[in-house]
């Protein structure tokens, strides 16, 4: 059952100093300031094998089950991805592929139905990771999240954008993140409707 105040955040970069992870941490901090309970998934800490139905037939990996249950108890999903050759990262795609699989007692797309989501992609490049962000939003919609995905992207990133605690130094960007969280909070009122959809489809 989705809890209005629960947010799951997943970084699609494994890099220790990842800008996508740092930006996602800034979202997490602001969500916490707005009274939300956040769980941050660093995929280094939740390794998942490449999807293979042979592995699946012998049991879903525990880290997939953990992330799936986390998302099913959340009202919001915030995902960030690097742009690699115009696409999202392979590690994130693999994670989402596993999460898309229907469990024995689940209805199709149950993990994602009604989930309010925020897609993020930031890059060192001048195109501000627009292509990866577009891919990410198409994929999230296909998985079944609420159609109105909120997006955030930023380019030309470097370590100069952050202080030693990885907080963004640019007040304009911090304001943008704050506004996104306000938009998120206003839109989450429909979460009970989403739970009803799941109940109706399940019966």
Ligand X SMILES: Cc1cc2nc3c(=O)[nH]c(=O)nc-3n(C[C@H](O)[C@H](O)[C@H](O)COP(=O)(O)O)c2cc1C
Q: Which residue ranges make up the site for ligand X (CB under 6 A)?
A: 13, 15, 18-20, 82-86, 123-125, 127, 129
127/192 with CB nearer ligand X:
127
Shorter beta-carbon distance to ligand X: residue 157 or 198: 157
d(C-alpha 152, C-alpha 127), whole Å = 13
Residue nearest to ligand X (CB): 125
Provide the terminal-to-terminal Cα distance of the chain, rounded to the nearest Å: 15
Provide, rounded to whole angstroms, the least separation between the CB of residue 118 and ligand X: 16
CB of 11 to ligand X, least distance (A): 7
Closest CB to ligand X among residues 15, 142: 15
Rounded least distance, CB 129 to ligand X, Å: 5
Closest distance to ligand X from the beta carbon of 197 (Å)? 34
- Retrieve residue 159's tokens: 């370590």
Residue 51 or 84 with smaller CB distance to ligand X: 84
State in angstroms the smallest separation of the CB of 15 from ligand X: 4
Looking at beta carbons only, is 28 or 195 nearer to ligand X?
A: 28
Shortest distance in whole angstroms from residue 59 CB to ligand X: 31
Q: Other C-beta atoms within 10 Å of 134: how many?
A: 17
Q: Please say which residue, 83 or 146, places its beta carbon nearer to ligand X.
A: 83
Written as one string, the DSSP assignment of the chain is --EEEEEEEEE----TT-HHHHHHHHHHHHHHHTT-EEEEEETTTS--PPP-HHHHHT---HHHHHHHHHHHTEEEEEEE---BTTB--HHHHHHHHHHTSPPTT--TTTTTTT-EEEEEEE-SSTTTTHHHHHHHHHHHHHHT--S--EEEEE-S--GGGB-TT--B--HHHHHHHHHHHHHHHHHGGGHHHHHHHHHHHH-
């Amino acid at each position: 059952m989705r809890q209005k105040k629960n947010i799951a955040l997943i970084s699609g970069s494994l890099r220790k100093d990842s800008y996508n992870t740092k930006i996602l941490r800034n979202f997490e901090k602001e969500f916490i300031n707005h009274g939300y309970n956040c769980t941050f998934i660093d995929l280094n800490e939740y390794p998942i094998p490449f999807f293979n139905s042979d592995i699946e037939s012998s049991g879903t990996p525990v880290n997939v089950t953990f992330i799936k249950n986390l998302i099913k108890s959340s009202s919001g999903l915030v995902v960030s991805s690097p742009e690699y050759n115009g696409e999202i990262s392979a590690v994130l795609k693999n994670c989402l592929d596993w999460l898309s699989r229907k469990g024995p007692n689940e209805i199709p797309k149950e993990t994602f139905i009604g989930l309010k989501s925020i897609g993020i992609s930031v890059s060192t490049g001048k195109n501000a990771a627009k292509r990866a962000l577009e891919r990410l939003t198409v994929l999230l919609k296909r998985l079944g999240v609420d159609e109105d995905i909120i997006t955030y992207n930023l380019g030309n990133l470097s370590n100069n954008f952050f202080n030693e605690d990885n907080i963004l130094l640019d007040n304009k960007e911090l304001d943008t993140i704050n506004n996104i969280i306000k938009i998120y909070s206003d839109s989450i009122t429909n979460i009970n409707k989403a739970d009803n959809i799941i109940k109706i489809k399940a019966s």
